[in-house]
Amino acid sequence: MTVPQRGRDAAVLVSGGADSAVLAVDLLKEHPRVHPIYVRFGLRWEAAELDRLRAYLAAARSDDGLAPLTVLDEPIAQVYGDHWSNAGRPGVPDAATPDEAVYLPGRNVLLAAKAAVWCRLRGIETLAFGTLRANPFPDSTPEFFRDFESVLNRALGGSLRIVRPYAGMSKAEVLCRGAGLPLHLTLSCLDPVGPGFRHCGACNKCEERRRAFAEAGIVDETGYASRPTAAS
């Protein structure tokens, strides 16, 4: 995987989660301006993610280096059909399910393709993903990103570099890097509850978040609506 170009603008794909939220700020150590990009698929948790993400970016923006959030739409309902990730569908993976259960087919393909075109038209040559070491999905491997980077550059006639600074880290290690940031404003939940978008406390992602804060030794200020039904 190629290295980021220091001293030039970068873009980062962000969700409401802690990993990409920390990365958006972390990239400012090497880039004068970082452009956060959120790709909206129309999934059940996205209203909550965007609400939390905007709150986090507003609280974390200490200077002009962090650009305003860009939201790109990529509706996926027609492709995913009757999938648990669509609003109103049952079967959200709970705390007892393996990480493989939360796989969203083709997500990184769509994220990278949409963001790459955005970057190409603005002369941005570094695009960052917040993928972690333990990510088990086929579109998160070093080989995938290397090959897809090559395909995108052939298609766009560009020189985009896809970077994954946290690819060798655990979520707990990333949380430690984000110490001092408003991590309580991030969201890692597949089924947010109520108008305040509380973490449900029972899904796979809530359990992953809870464990990571414990492993990092950082107080978890997340408001969970419930405890998991399975033992942590």
How far is the C-alpha of 28 from the C-alpha of 162, rounded, in Å?
16
- For the stretch 173-202, pLDDT in tens is 999 999 999 999 999 999 898 877 899 999
What contacts 43, CB < 8 A, 6 or more positions away?
Answer: 76, 85, 86, 87, 104
- Examine residue 5 and state whether it is found in any structural domain, yes or no: no
Supply the DSSP symbol for 68: P
- Examine residue 228 and state whether it is found in any structural domain, yes or no: no
Whether 43 shows a pLDDT value over 70: the answer reads: yes
Q: Give the CATH number, domain containing residue 160.
A: 3.40.50.620
- Examine residue 60 and state whether it is found in any structural domain, yes or no: yes
Cα end-to-end distance, the chain, whole Å:
35
Q: How many CA atoms lie within 13 A of 118 on its CB side?
A: 22
- Examine residue 92 and state whether it is found in any structural domain, yes or no: yes
Whether 74 shows a pLDDT value over 50: the answer reads: yes
Surface-to-core class of residue 116, CB atoms within 10 Å of its CB (0-12 exposed, 13-18 middle, 19+ buried): buried
Residue 205's domain spans which residues?
A: 10-216
Cβ atoms within 10 Å of 226's Cβ, excluding its own: 12
- Examine residue 59 and state whether it is found in any structural domain, yes or no: yes
- The SS3 of residue 99 is helix
- For the stretch 108-153, pLDDT in tens is 999 999 999 999 999 999 999 999 987 778 888 899 999 999 999 9
- Examine residue 197 and state whether it is found in any structural domain, yes or no: yes
- Examine residue 224 and state whether it is found in any structural domain, yes or no: no
- For the stretch 49-60, pLDDT in tens is 999 999 999 998
Q: Which residue has the higher pLDDT, 100 or 216?
A: 216
- The SS3 of residue 206 is helix
How far is the C-alpha of 195 from the C-alpha of 161, rounded, in Å?
39
Query: pTM for the full model?
Result: 0.88
Q: How confident is the model at residue 214 (pLDDT cuts 50, 70, 90)?
A: very high
The reported pLDDT for the residue numbered 63 is 66
Question: Alpha helices of the chain — where are they, by DSSP H?
Answer: 18-26, 46-60, 77-80, 107-120, 142-156, 171-177, 204-216
Q: How many domains does the chain have?
A: 1
Question: Percent of the chain, pLDDT > 70?
Answer: 92
Chain center to CA of 33: 19
- Examine residue 227 and state whether it is found in any structural domain, yes or no: no
